[in-house]
Amino acid sequence: MTTQATIPVSAQMHDHVMRLTGIPARVFFWEAAPVVAAFAEVTDYYQMDLFLAATDVYNYEIEAMGGKLIYGEHTMPTIDFRDPLVKEPADLLKLRPPDFRRDGRLPYALECIRLSGEYPKGRKMGFICGTFSMAVGMCSYPRLIRAMRNDPAFVRDLMTFILEEIQLPYIRVQQEYAGITAVAAVDAWAMVPNISIGLLQEWVIPYGKRLREKAAEFGIMATSGGADYCEERKEKFNADVLYECFRAQMAISGMPAIFLGMGPWHELPLEPVVDFLASYREQGKALAIAAALNARLMRDGPVSRIVDSVKRFVDAFGRDYQLQITIANIPADTPSDHVHAAVAAIHTYGRKPVPKDLSQVEFTPPQRESFQEWRRRRQTN
């Protein structure tokens, strides 16, 4: 861990951790102790500052209620959308909440949360599937979108069932089992352009706010990851749509903070983001910003582009705003040199106070030993 004041580094990296450590999928997605130990080990190898041993977090609740998953030998499980739990409204009436301490892999998820908090760099934080993403997991994306148009009363019943019968009780169990005080409701399906701003306002913001408010009643800070702006086509970038996403993020979280999540922000313009932040600053409101390095960028590189993307984030936001930089995802086959470069660049350019001219900051991507060589050396010392 770095000793100077600098931006801390963490990453979503379950596929990469599994590939790097060689743990089989049948173990990695079922046995908590070796998985959390692997996260801690890879975190140390890359000299990251924090980790949370979260794996396929969109699947646990669905599977525990009887939903079918597809398992692979070397891949993360995924929901089998050919046979969803809820094919028609009547199916919702047949569903019962799971036993959160016993059913499916929920005990594995609980233990991952508990054990993460026992490591020096582990985050003691809970995680659940977000409301919109769980609705997709239960129905499939096409069925859910059609139902929003044709049967909104059913969708309201579905969302209420998810919130009241699954999310809130599961958060309480995490609080009792692992002693959490905060929980992340991961909601990647609730992003633009997967859904429109209208659907975001109608179906994501209200339930995100309700989750936050109801969790606060028993002492848990719940944050939802919905309203991410993930436009892949640069020619379709729309600052007005981006700003609506930012406003939705703040409405859901109740905090003066915005995030740049899974989108290709190494290719999209940052000037509109700077303008949005400045407009709040002029009102005396200092917004925080979390910016993430894109998964495709991390895998494909090159290193120079990864480093330039870190430098670009710091140059745009690092001096005037509370900035966090993370890695949105590290794909399984990402070269380790790419990750080392990203972490070192964040620690170098992210030192406080950030210099006025980052071109004067010396940085050379580190050349480090392989994970296996590092592990052998560590075990012999």
Convert the pLDDT of each residue in 290-321 to its tens digit: 999 999 999 999 999 999 999 999 999 999 99
Q: By percentage, how much of the chain surpasses pLDDT 90?
A: 94
152 vs 145: CA distance, rounded Å: 10
- Interval 363-373 mean pLDDT: 95
Contact 295, 331 (CB under 8 A): yes
**pTM, rounded to two decimals:** 0.94
Q: What is the pLDDT of residues 24-39, one digit of tens each?
A: 999 999 999 999 999 9
H helices present in 151-196, as ranges: 152-161, 168-178
Contact 137, 58 (CB under 8 A): yes
Return the pLDDT at 1: 43
Return the pLDDT at 100: 98
Cβ neighbours of residue 315 under 8 Å, at least 6 residues apart? 349, 358
Contact 337, 8 (CB under 8 A): no
pLDDT reading at 2 higher than 60: no
Q: Where are the domains positioned within the chain?
A: 52-230
Contact 202, 140 (CB under 8 A): no
Q: Which H or E element spans position 212? A: helix 205-216
Cβ neighbours of residue 53 under 8 Å, at least 6 residues apart? 32, 35, 36, 39, 40, 112, 113, 115, 116, 122
3 state DSSP class of 165: helix
Return the pLDDT at 4: 62
Residue 263 Cα to chain centre, angstroms = 12
Q: What is the pLDDT of residues 192-217, one digit of tens each?
A: 999 999 999 999 999 999 999 999 99
- Interval 51-59 mean pLDDT: 95
Q: What is the pLDDT of residues 156-194, one digit of tens each?
A: 999 999 999 999 999 999 999 999 999 999 999 999 999
For the domain covering 52-230, report its CATH number: 3.20.20.210
CA distance readout (Å), 104 to 6, 99, 380: 40, 9, 39
